[in-house]
Every structure is written in C-alpha cells, then in structure tokens.
Homo-oligomer: A and B are copies of this chain.
Amino acid sequence: MKKIILVTLALIATAGISSAQLTKPTPATTNLDGKQYPMVNPDLSATFQVVAPNAKTVELDLGKLYPMTKNADGVWEVTCDPQVPGFHYYFIHIDGVKVADPSSKLFYGCGMMSSGIEIPEAGVDYYLEKEVPHGEIRMQRYYSDLTKSWRICYVYVPAEYESNPSKHYPVLYLFHGGGENETSWPIQGKVDNIMDNLIAAGECKPMLVVMDRGEATLADQPAFQPRRAGGMIMDFTPLDRVVTEEIVPMIDTRYRTLPDRMHRAITGLSMGGFQSWAIGLNHKDKFAYIGGFSGSGLAPTEERYPATLNDEVELLYVGTGTEEPGQMYTGVRDFHLFLEKTGVNHVYFESQGTAHEWLTWRRALKDFAPRLFVK
C-alpha cells in the first residue's frame, strides 16, 4: 500500500476549463426555474427575498441567522456575508417557523427537505455536466428482510456498462451524512457528473457507485437508536448487517460486479465516514479500500488500528476541509496524526478553504476515486 501522502488543493486545480467568475448578481442555479432569488453576488454573498406582507419577523437561516427587512411591497430581503463556494443548506424562519424557501429547489438534508444554494466555484467544472459519455443513476427498489422494509438503493452505472455486456466492474459503496439520505450524493453531491468526468478523462477506473441509506432499524430490535444532534446515528451495527448481509449481495446479484474485496471500496461523509471506517474495518475480507470524508475512525486505539493494517488493506483515506469548525476539523486531523504516529499508512486529504459541506466532499470524492482498484 502507498506510504503516507499529503494531498493539497494543488492536485485539485487541474479540473478542466474554467466556469466563469460572476460579474453581476446572478440567480442561483439551485433556484426553481424562473425564480430570480436567491441571487448570488460577485463577492459570493447572496441576496434572499421572501414575499410575506403579513409576517412579523422573517429571518434567513444559513447556520447563522440573518434578520430580513420588509420593503413597502411586503417583500423581505437580506444579503448574507460572502460564502465559501459550494453547496449550502438554508431555511427561512417565518414568525419563528423554520421552513424551506419556496423559491429554491429542495434537497433532503438536516432531517427534512431543505433549501439549498450553490455558490459557484470559479475555474472548476469537475462536478458540472460536460460533453462526455454519461452514465446513469439507477433507483433500485429491494426488500430488506433484516429491517422488514422496502428500501431504495441508488446505483451509479458508468456510460460503458451497457455496451460491454460481459465486463464486470468494481464497486464503491458511498454513504451520506447525518440528516441526509440516499438522494444526497446523487443530487447535491453531483456524483454522476464527478464520476462521468473522471472516467472520461481516464483519471479513474470505470466503477459502480452504490448509495443507500445510512440508517437501518433491525426488525428484531427496539426502534430506538442513540442519536446526536443533526440526526447522526451512533449505533452502526444494524447498518453493518444490512450492508454486508443484504446490500452487497443484492448488488453482486443484480449487477455485473467483481465480487471480491480487491474490487470493493467503502467511504462516506461525516456520519457516513464514521460508518465506513467501522464497517470497513469490521469486514476487511469484503473491503480492501476504506475511507472517510470529514468522518474518521472513532476513539482510535493501537489495538483497533495496528501497523499490520498496512498489509491488510490497499488504501486507508482520511479527508477533511480546512474550514471545518473546531472538533470537526481537529477530530479528523488528530485521527490522521494518530495513524501517522502508529505507522499506519494512509492518504490524508485537506480541502483548502472549505467547511463541513458538500464542496469538501465533492473534492474528496474526486481525489479518492482515482486511487481505487489500481492493483
């Protein structure tokens, strides 16, 4: 396995032709068709409007709360601080009720359908649609006997899959964060564009990407699962069983896969990163490539992460964003330092200038995928 590698944004900057810098206020690409607001400004601040003549107070909730002010027509408006590029969830509070902005497309996040605003990243197009062969994302319903419920698994299939009816493919299992679901990578993550562009450029192996819900309640267990704020589930055992006993076999049955550990990878973001480290290390016989984006191995000990891992797995990957708040950053960085200290080879990736948000995770995926299935 590779020695420790430090990756910086330098590696990321080779992302193809530029998307233009904004020169004037522009409706966000995440708005509903025809909606002018929110409007992204050239300094990457954004201006929001809500029509609410009879409301007493209207606030913008971008993590930080911004009081909005009402004009004579009953239109409330505010301009937020300049934002880091990428995708941000937000809400509107109308007289204290937290709701989605009616002029935004909505995205499942924060445990509900949430408004989102895409702040464009000048000079970068690796997650945009380009004139390259396009794969598909397949919505695959299946019955989970462990949970006694129907689930939907989203599967990215590369463009070449249908034209190579005898070829078998490796599989990346990719998990969302707390309060998100299986639609998060396909929609706000733009996983198909990222993979289509990498594969078309010859930068990564054609592979399947399986995105399922990072949540499972076993039918024979109490529904209660310990949670943190943000909907993060702390008991990974039920998901571990559903992934290894149901999802992996279902994918290996329904798709032309290479059904062995050397052709399976697992990673995820935030909660999905914790889950991937836990499930991956519990099943090194099933996954040779293990990672986490803004989510690492919990409570690391030398027992759990011995230097012998170097001979047992092909890749351990630790990703984070330099602007992630407090423990979110230090927790992941300290995990990296712990692995370094104990001599466990791994790749440590820092996304410069991005927070605990989708741009960190799009960049991490773009950096992670090319490292997979190279043996």
Contact = CB atoms under 8 A, between A and B. Distances in A.
In the complex, the 7 A-B pairs of residues with the closest C-beta atoms, listed nearest first: A54-B96, A106-B113, A99-B99, A136-B138, A129-B150, A137-B139, A52-B97
A143 B131 contact: yes
Contact of A134 (B54, B56, B141): B141
Contact of A54 (B95, B140, B193): B95
A230 interface: no
- Residue from A100, A113, A254 with most neighbouring chain B CB atoms (10 Å): A113
B113 A100 contact: yes
B143 A96 contact: no
B95 A55 contact: yes
Contacts of A205: none
A180 interface: no
Contacts of A212: none
Interface in A64-108: 92, 94-100, 102-103, 105-106
Interface string A27-51: 0000010000000000000000011
A96 B139 contact: no
Work out how many copies of this chain go into the complex.
Answer: 2
A25 interface: no
A289 B32 CA distance: 34
25 contacts: A32-B112, A32-B113, A51-B97, A52-B97, A53-B96, A54-B56, A54-B96, A54-B97, A55-B94, A55-B96, A55-B97, A56-B95, A94-B97, A99-B99, A99-B100, A100-B102, A102-B112, A129-B143, A129-B150, A134-B140, A136-B139, A136-B140, A139-B186, A141-B192, A162-B254
Most chain-B Cβ atoms within 10 A of its Cβ — which of A51, A56, A129, A192? A129
Contacts of A55: 94-97
A123 interface: no
Contacts of A98: 102
Contacts of A162: 254
A111 interface: yes
A112 B32 CA distance: 7
Interface string A145-157: 0000010000001
Contacts of A157: 138
A131 B150 CA distance: 10
A202 to B, nearest CB: 20
A268 B154 CA distance: 26
Nearest to A51: B97
Nearest to A96: B54
A39 B117 CA distance: 32
A94 B99 contact: yes
Contacts of A52: 95-97
A176 to B, nearest CB: 14
Residue of A32, A97, A113, A165 contacting most chain B CB atoms (<10 Å) = A97
Contacts of A192: 139, 141
B96 A95 contact: no
A32 B111 contact: yes
A102 B105 contact: no
A103 B97 CA distance: 12
A53 B93 CA distance: 12
B53 A56 contact: no
B129 A141 contact: yes
Interface in A107-145: 111-113, 129, 131, 134, 136-143
Nearest to A150: B129
